[in-house]
Each structure stands twice: as C-alpha cells, then as structure tokens.
Amino acid sequence: MLHKADTSFSERSAGFTWFFSFLIKFDRVKKEADGPIFLLLDEPGLTLHGTAQGDLLRFFSEKLSPHHQIMYSTHSPFMVPHENLATSRIVEDLVKIDDRSRRIPTGTKVREDVLSVDRDSVFPLQGALGYAITQTLFIGKHTILVEGPSDILYMKALSAELLRRGRTGLDPQWVICPSGGLDKIQAFVSLFAGNDLDVIALSDFSRKDRNKLEALRRSQVLKSGGLLTIADFVDQDEADIEDLIDPALFCTIVNTAYELPEDHALDTTKLSAANENTERQVKKAEAFFNVLPNKRPVFDHFLPASWLISNPSTLNGEKTAVTSTLDRAEKLFEALNSLKGDID
C-alpha cells in the first residue's frame, strides 16, 4: 500500500465504489445467466475521473463487447469511442414548431448521423474528437519539441541535403513539433504524459533564458540530457536555429527570399554591424530590416526558412558557406539521434 493505511469500502471515492460494485454485480448476473447478456447502462462511470472513464470504456471494448451486447447513455466525451464513432447514436428530445408558432413535441429520436445534429447534442462527440486529436496531432512516438515552424523547415532542409550526400541527417522516426518556446515546453510535455512518448526538446538560447532553461531541467519533465540548445552546436553563447547557417549563406537566403534590390541587399559586413550587441543572426537581420526604407518588408523568421525548403539546391555544391553549415547541422542531428529511446 502506498500510504500504509487501510481505507474501508464506505470511505472510498464514489467512482471506485461504483466500479467495484458494477464488477461484483456483473459477475453475479453472468453466473446466473444462460448465455450472453444484454447490458443497458445509464451514465456508467459518471463519478469516475476522465482517465478512469477511458479505462472503463476500454474494459467494455476488450472484455465485455466480444461476449455480450452493451448499450449505454452518456454525456461524457471520455465515454465516447472516438476510434469507432460509427457505433455511437445521438438521442434527441425533439420539438417541432407548427404554422402558428406552437411547440409540438415529436418524441425522442435516435439518429445515426451523429455529426448532423444540433450543437448541444453533438458536444460530447466534439469533445471526444478534440481530445483524440490533441493526443495525436504532430505527435509521434519520438518527438522533438522546437520553438516554432521555422525551426522545422530549417531542420528538414538541412537534413535532406545531408542525407542526399550520404551523411547523417535526422532519423526519420523523429517527429518535429513546434511548442512555442521554453515557457510552454513543460506544459506541453505534461499534456501528453502517460502516452508512452519519447520526447526531447531543442531550444534557441539567449542569456535571459538561462533561468528558464535551468528550471526546465530541474523539473525533470524531459529525460536526462533531453534538453538541447542551438548554442551547444555553434561557437557562441547565444544562438537560434539560424546560427547553424554560415553568415554568407544566410545573407543569400534572406536576400533571395525577400527579393532585396542590390542597393539594399544584405551582406556579412552589414549583418555584423546591424546590431553589435548580439551574436544572433536573426536579431541582426531584424535590426538591418528596421533601417530599410519604409516600403521594405518587416523581417520574420518564417519566410527565409520557407524559401530554403522550396529551393533545396541552395545547399548544393562545395562552397565553404555550405559545407560549414552542413557540418554544424550534422553534429546537431547526431546528438538528437543519440537521444532517441527504444519506444516502438
């Protein structure tokens, strides 16, 4: 026992009491019955926690349904079999409005078209689908949490070129998922806790993030060594995903993505001088764009990454700017791949 204390049955939770009583009653009825049983239940597991309702639903599916017929009513999204919605029915107490605007009850109707009814009736189904989607969308057994969508595009582009060259790219079993930053990683991991997932995180890093980074490591929501920063793979204290890219190549990507005219084109000298208070290329680029003429676009992280993934030949060739970029990316992917667990 966890707390080394006995708790009488009468002091147990309402949910536990219901479930235990149901098992005892069902076992007795099954012994007395001659053949399969038809189970008709009204709001089963109403007092159970949401995850316990999911366990009850799985018990119905795996232990009872193969041998007996079950029909039950529920308002709980956790009692809706989202993987088999075709077995669900909507029950409505319908009222018809006649020509004189009088409400005429038409009785209770059972409908198979579960997604074509009024919003209130379909709410449990929407809840079940919403929960199921959040447990699977963008998530795989092996997941890397990154800052945002631009990180995904840069990593995909660099990995594809490395693999094309026969070098080490990102293991295809990894699923890259945007988390929105260090602040949201702990909540994100907690949301999917219990799903037997292998989750690590790759974060940008600035000095102001140091305390957040240490707090996240102390929280132990990620496995040991499962929190990496881009600064670990470049020769500077602060870094974003863009700092894997050689400055000359980064300037080429930015100039082409934004179609900057020659007199306003970015080069390594302008990039370095744009903001001497930071080493981060993306912050330097932002500062450079801020002093361009008013009609020039505002710099954002996504457009250069989107352009690169659409123009992979930019990473072809043996120019120093390209090879040094790929060397840094390969070290990153080797480190990420080494953290992949044995979950299958």
Which tokens sit at 235?
């020769």
User: Is residue 344 a part of any domain in this protein?
Assistant: no
Residues 44 and 146 in one domain: no
- pLDDT tens per residue across span 123-145: 676 666 666 655 555 566 888 98
Q: Phi and psi dihedrals of 175, rounded to 5?
A: -110, 125
Which tokens sit at 50?
């949401």
Number of domains, the chain: 2
* 199, β-bridge pairs: 143
Q: Which of 272, 248, 147, 290 is nearest to 206 (CA)?
A: 147
Which spans in 165-280 are helix H? 182-191, 210-219, 247-258, 268-274
Q: Which of 28, 52, 79 is the last residue of a domain?
A: 79
* Global pTM exceeds 0.75: no
Please tell me the distance from the alpha carbon of residue 156 to that of residue 330, in angstroms, as a whole number.
12
Residues 67 and 156 in one domain: no
Residues 171 and 302 in one domain: yes
User: Is residue 122 a part of any domain in this protein?
Assistant: no
Task: Give Cα 243 distance to the centre of its chain.
Answer: 25
Cβ contact 167:322 at 8 Å: no
User: Is residue 186 a part of any domain in this protein?
Assistant: yes
The per-residue pLDDT string of the chain (344 residues; one tens digit each, 9 = 90 and over) reads 455 667 776 777 888 888 888 888 888 888 888 888 898 999 898 888 878 888 888 888 888 888 889 998 888 888 888 667 667 787 877 778 888 888 888 888 787 765 555 666 666 766 666 666 555 555 668 889 898 899 999 999 999 999 999 999 999 999 898 888 777 777 777 766 656 678 889 999 888 888 888 888 888 778 778 889 999 999 899 999 999 999 999 999 999 999 999 989 999 999 999 999 999 999 999 999 999 887 778 898 899 999 999 999 999 999 999 999 999 999 999 999 999 876 54
Residues 49 and 171 in one domain: no
- DSSP secondary structure string for all residues of 127-192: HHHHHHHHTTTT--SEEEEESSHHHHHHHHHHHHHHHHTTS----TTEEEEE--SHHHHHHHHHHT
Which tokens sit at 78?
């956790």
User: Is residue 250 a part of any domain in this protein?
Assistant: yes
Residues 167 and 25 in one domain: no
Residues 146 and 75 in one domain: no
Residues 151 and 27 in one domain: no
Residues 187 and 259 in one domain: yes
Please tell me the distance from the alpha carbon of residue 256 to that of residue 248, in angstroms, as a whole number.
12
User: Is residue 309 a part of any domain in this protein?
Assistant: yes
Q: Which of 47, 64, 79 is the last residue of a domain?
A: 79
Structural domain range at position 256: 142-338
Residues 179 and 321 in one domain: yes
Other beta carbons within 10 Å of 12 = 13
Q: Which of 63, 79, 95 is the last residue of a domain?
A: 79
Please tell me the distance from the alpha carbon of residue 106 to that of residue 123, in angstroms, as a whole number.
22
Please tell me the distance from the alpha carbon of residue 73 to that of residue 89, in angstroms, as a whole number.
9
Residues 156 and 39 in one domain: no
User: Is residue 137 a part of any domain in this protein?
Assistant: no
Residues 72 and 152 in one domain: no
- pLDDT tens per residue across span 3-58: 566 777 677 788 888 888 888 888 888 888 888 889 899 989 888 887 888 888 88
User: Which residues in 194-206 are b (16+ Cβ under 10 Å) and which e?
Assistant: eeebbbbbbbbbb
User: Is residue 103 a part of any domain in this protein?
Assistant: no
Please tell me the distance from the alpha carbon of residue 344 to that of residue 342, in angstroms, as a whole number.
6
Residues 173 and 287 in one domain: yes
